[in-house]
Amino acid sequence: MSADDTRQSLQRKTDVFLRDFFEKGEVLVKELITENDRLRSQLEAAPVQVEKDAKPVTRDNMVDLLMLRISSLERECDEIRRIAGNVEEESGGFRQRLDSLESEHYHLASMFVAGSQFHSATSFDEVLRTITEILLNFVGAGAFTIYLVDEERQVLFPVAREGGVIDDIKEIELTGDDAGPAQAAIVALGRPWKSGDPEFQMGKEIINLPLVSGSRLVGVARLESFLEQKHGFADNDYQLLGLISEHAGTGVENAWIRAHTKDVPLQRRAIEHLVGA
């Protein structure tokens, strides 16, 4: 499957999830629209009060009657302004709430799709492809490199790159004289990255995101630049980065374990022993 096919597949899953969210929110939207229409109808239907016992106009009382009418019109204008202000304020609040709901729904859909993609990945290729798709489509990273850890040599080596040639990327020492403070901090973290943690920058990159399974560092995703239409992280991006740090780390470790185990048929005795039955 090509990279374009996998991106389209991920986008389809996101679209399906978003459609389900918005269908569930249809009732709320209808209520908001109905309330907005009610407020507007108040403005349009504001009655003009007519005095039943209006006095006949004469030269003597003309000025007084005009002054009374002006005062009445001023009161009506004040009331119309008040109603119009309420309509604008409340309809504006509805729009903001709808925008907030749409943003929240999209974020939840992104988190759900990202998590399910990692859970279904069983090989290194699938895990790396999932990391690439999420960084591109959800985080908006335009150039990045994915490293894995050689635990015996204590180095990071590149396994995938977007926005450049992987042959240009060198290994990164995690320990020893050539390792800097960023590498030492990554090794010492001992858990998945979360919002508020350092970016572990070693140069001009945006962030070096540790990929961690439990307390085991298995890799790093180095984000080098954003897509052209994006200029920085949004608040929701930090939750996605935390999800990638943990779920990608677990996915890498599981793929490694799967690659080094042999197929064994399920057996009742063995299962009961494992569960302590």
For residue range 59-75, what is the model confidence (pLDDT) as tens digits? 566 666 666 767 777 77
- CA gap 254, 246 in Å, rounded: 12
Return left, alpha or beta for 161; rule: phi > 0 is left, psi -120 to 50 is alpha, else beta: beta
pLDDT value at position 119? 86
Structure tokens at 59: 């030269």
Listed as ranges, residues in the chain with pLDDT below 70 are 1-11, 13-67, 69, 85, 87-95, 97-99, 101, 277
Helices (H), the chain: 3-24, 26-44, 62-120, 124-134, 181-189, 235-243, 249-259, 268-275
The pTM score is 0.66
Do 130 and 240 lie in a common domain?
yes
Q: Is 84 domain-assigned?
A: yes
Q: How far apart are CA 139 and CA 116, in angstroms?
A: 16
Say if residue 109 is in the same domain as residue 34.
Answer: yes
Same domain, 109 and 128: no
pLDDT at position 81 is 74
User: How many domains, the chain?
Assistant: 2
Q: Residue 25 phi/psi, 5° resolution? A: -90, 5
Same-domain status, 98 and 43: yes
Torsion of CA 208, 118, 214, 239, to 10 degrees: 50
Do 56 and 149 lie in a common domain? no
Q: Are residues 107 and 7 in the same domain?
A: yes
Residue 227 lies in a domain: yes
Nearest CA to 245 out of 265, 277, 216 is that of 216
Range of the domain at 175: 123-259
The pLDDT assigned to 19 comes to 64
Please report the pLDDT score of residue 71 as a whole number: 73
